[in-house]
Amino acid sequence: MKRLKSGDVLRLLGIIVVVSLALVPIYWMLNVSLLPETEVIRTSPHYYPPPGIVTLDAYKEILTEYSVFTYILNSIIICFLATVVTLLLSFSIAYSIAKYDFRLKKYLYYGIIWLLALPWVVYVLPIFKIVSGLGLLDTHVLMIMLYGFSGIPLFSWFALPFMHTFPNELIDAGRLDGCSEWGVVWRIVMPSLKNALIALFILRFVWAYNDLLYSLSFTFYRAKMIMPALLEFPGLYEMPYAKMAAGGLLAMLPILLIVVIFQKYVVSGLTGRTLK
Amino acid sequence: MLRRKPLIFLLVIPFSFFILSHTIPFLYGISLSFYDWRENFVGFTNYLSVFNDAIFWESLKFTFIYAVVVAGAMTFFGLFFGIFINHLGRGQILVKSVLLIPWAISLTAWGLLGQIALSKQFGVVNDVLVRLGILETRLAWLGDPTLAKISVMLSRISKDVWFSALLFLVARQTIPSELYDESKVCGAGPWQTLCYVTLPMLKPTMLFVTTILFIFALQEFDLVFALTRGGPGFATEVASVNIFRHGVRYGNYEYGTAVAAVWSLIVSIFVIIVFAPLQRRIMEK
């Protein structure tokens, strides 16, 4: 039998430290969400839910009092369609910047850099005024358009390094076979860049799903999304901590699922720029 | 290679969706900032009030402090943990799969969790610190202006430092191992290897991570809104929350657009001075 070396013990210790540092907050959310509201509000908190008092009441209450499922579903539908829109448009833009020469290219590039740095909040007030005049406020269509179009500068920029390294030969072969330029993007570039596409899809979906600013400003009832709904649990006179924790966890579930399944793609989406 | 006509469909039309949905409203917003709520033209009156608004300047100051601290700390600790995890041997597969989980939580839920954990009487943070003897009395983490500022920054860092650690870990693992063999042959110690091999090779990632985190941090809205709503008072109000408060919660529409215009101008100056030159260097490489 191999003897355990001190290096291995230290490594194990390091793994335990890092994993627990990263997971403690989620454990705490789960812990609080399983307690009755009265047991959360005590000066020496329960570090684990004592078996006698574990309850799913918080989950039951938020599912019956608020239509949490509808809000989550709204978020998923809106963000999914919006992400498809963002990626189609951004890949097409990145393709033309990487593979074409045109006069204003440099300015367009710096324009994109500028637009991706501008804070979203500067758009909120005027968009609100315009869309309420158009009667589009609080509709799914509006949110799909807003999340679909707002990602264009950032995701064109993210897609650019993948396009730069894309072999010209493949594109020329496609053109010789009679593909239109859209056909080249759609049939050749996008399938070959499947990994990058998945990576950017997840990044965009997660950011749109988790975004609070637009969903809080433009959805109220019909198209209400889950993030602003979470903020409604704390009332004026009470702090229902268990409900807040339960809501936060439920809202996180779809994202957690996607991230666990596709985790290896996420990093490459962000680092395509620096690793190549 | 050079065909002009397709660009209308590939570039101009896709990009115009952004222009139509965001840039034109933005310009419209700037034009609104010259009116009052009865739609009378008032020139720069709104801007004069913005410049005299001490709370706005305080929020700008805090936004920049927030962005510098958050981006700096996440780069530093992300680098530290990234290199640390790389030395954990086989166990790092487990660690890697865990690092993305905090990233999956929304900042909104994180803010609510912060309210629970940082509560003065019922929060676990106070309880742990008192039990360990680090604190003698429980602190109002979200009630005191200075502490609230620190709490907002720490809670942001503690959520996303793992994501930046993952970026550095992946970047570290793409450094060719020949470089490390060579530095061993040359008799370099672990510190020398770190300073002369690892850190220089990670420099592009550091630049990328710091700037992108800084830009995201300047836009911060979700966490502050969910955790403190900008309070106590206006202590933790960042620029985005300030604009949202004026424009949406107070309904001070025209004033809000003026603040937004000033804020976007300041961000643009940052882009011109720092971000764009950095991009040029990356592009020329």
The span from the CA of A104 to the CA of B11, in Å, is 12
- Cα–Cα distance measured from residue B111 to residue B264, given in angstroms and rounded to the nearest whole number: 26
B135 to chain A: which residues are within 8 Å by CB?
none
Structural domain boundaries enclosing A226: 58-275
In a domain, A217, yes or no: yes
Q: Please state the length of chain B.
A: 285
The answer to whether residues A47 and A82 belong to one domain is no
Q: For residue A42, which of A243, A241, A245 has the smallest C-alpha distance?
A: A241
| Both tokens assigned to B247 | 């424009």
Helices (H), chain A: 6-33, 37-40, 57-65, 68-99, 105-117, 121-134, 140-150, 152-164, 168-176, 181-183, 190-192, 194-210, 213-218, 226-230, 241-275
Residues of chain A with pLDDT under 50: 1, 273-276
Helix A241-275 × helix A68-99 angle, to 10°: 10
Contacts of residue A118, Cβ cutoff 8 Å, sequence gap at least 6: B26, B264, B267, B268
* Test the A interface: residue of B3, B7, B13, B17 with most A CBs within 10 Å: B17
Claim to verify: residue A45 and residue A129 sit in the same structural domain: no
The CA-based angle A43-A48-A54, given to 5 degrees, is 100
Disruptive mutation site among B2, B21, B50, B202 for chain A (greatest number of A CBs within 10 Å): B21
Q: Tell me the three state secondary structure of residue B81.
A: helix
3-state SS assignment for residue B35: strand
Q: What mean pLDDT do residues B92-117 have? A: 87
Chain A contact set for B92 (CB, 8 A): 15
**How many angstroms separate the CA atoms of B141 and B138, rounded?**
9
Give per-residue burial for A146-155: e unless 16+ CB within 10 Å, then b. Answer: bbbbbbbbbb
Find residue B35's DSSP bridge partners: B41
CA distance B267 to A194: 34
Which of the residues A39, A84, A122 would you substitute to probe the B interface, choosing the one with the greatest number of B C-beta atoms within 10 Å?
Answer: A122
Please give the structure tokens belonging to residue B258: 């003026």
Q: B126-150: per-residue pLDDT in tens?
A: 888 888 888 888 888 888 889 999 9
Does B253 contact A121 at a Cβ distance shorter than 8 Å? no
Does residue B162 surpass a pLDDT of 60?
A: yes
* Model confidence pLDDT, tens digit, residues B46-93: 898 888 888 999 999 999 999 999 999 999 999 999 888 888 877 777
Residue A78 lies inside a defined structural domain of this protein? yes
Question: Is residue A2, in this structure, part of any structural domain at all?
Answer: no
Q: What are phi and psi of A49, to 5 degrees?
A: -70, 115
| Domain shared by A33 and A126, yes or no | no
Closest approach of A69 to chain B, Cα-based (Å): 16
Q: What is the pLDDT of residue A71?
A: 92
Both A71 and A43 in a single domain? Answer: no
Q: Which residues of A touch B247 (CB under 8 A)?
A: 124-125, 128
Q: What is the pLDDT of residues A144-155, one digit of tens each?
A: 999 999 999 999
Tell me: cis bond preceding A25? Omega within 30 of 0 counts: no
Residue B4 confidence (pLDDT): 56
Q: Which residue in A106, A273, A134 sits closest to A203, CA to CA?
A: A273
Question: How buried is residue A228: exposed, middle or buried, by Cβ count under 10 Å (0-12/13-18/19+)?
Answer: buried
For residue A261, is it within any domain? Answer: yes
Q: Are residues A191 and A248 in the same domain?
A: yes
Q: Are residues A102 and A32 both part of a single domain? A: no
Indicate if A15 and A117 belong to the same structural domain: no
Report whether pLDDT(B211) > 90: no
Average pLDDT of chain B is 86
| ipTM score for this prediction | 0.89
More confident residue, A207 or B6: A207
More confident residue, A219 or B281: A219
Burial of A106 (0-12, 13-18, 19+ CB in 10 A): exposed
Specify whether A240 is located in the same domain as A184.
yes
Least Cα separation, residue A193 to chain B (angstroms): 17
On whether both A14 and A135 belong to a single domain, the answer is no
Contact B264 A119 (CB under 8 A): yes
Sign of the dihedral through C-alpha B165, B168, B170, B176: negative
Closest among A157, A204, A264 to B170, alpha carbons compared: A264
Which residues from A are below 8 Å from B6, CB to CB? 96, 180-182
pLDDT, position A150: 93
Does residue A127 sit at the B interface (CB-CB below 8 Å)?
yes
Quote the number of domains for chain A.
2
pLDDT of residue A169: 84
Residues 6+ apart with CB under 8 A from A106: none
A110 and A230 share one domain:
yes
Report the chain B residue with the minimal C-alpha distance to residue A105. Answer: B11
Residue A1 lies in a domain: no
Domain assignment present for A205: yes
Calpha distance A114→A117 (Å, rounded):
5
Contact of A105 with chain B, judged by CB distance below 8 Å, is answered with: no
Closest CA to B213 of B60, B70, B101: B70
Q: Cα–Cα distance between A40 and B116 in angstroms, integer?
A: 9
Please indicate whether, in this complex, the C-beta atoms of A119 and B2 are within 8 angstroms of each other.
no
Q: Are residues A171 and A234 in the same domain?
A: yes
Could you tell me the pTM of the whole model?
Answer: 0.90
Would you say residue A251 lies in a domain?
yes
Same domain? For A39 and A71 the reply is no
In the chain, the amino acid numbered A114 is: W
Q: Where residue B281 falls among pLDDT bands split at 50, 70, 90?
A: low
> Inter-chain contact A259–B219, Cβ cutoff 8 Å?
no
CA atoms within 13 A on the CB side of B136: 0
| Cβ atoms of residues B108 and A231 within 8 Å | yes
- Residue A3 burial (CB count, 10 A): 5
The CATH number linked to A251 is 1.10.3720.10
Q: What is the pLDDT of residue B283?
A: 58
Query: Which residue ranges form the domains of chain B, and what is each CATH number?
Result: 33-171+204-284 (1.10.3720.10)
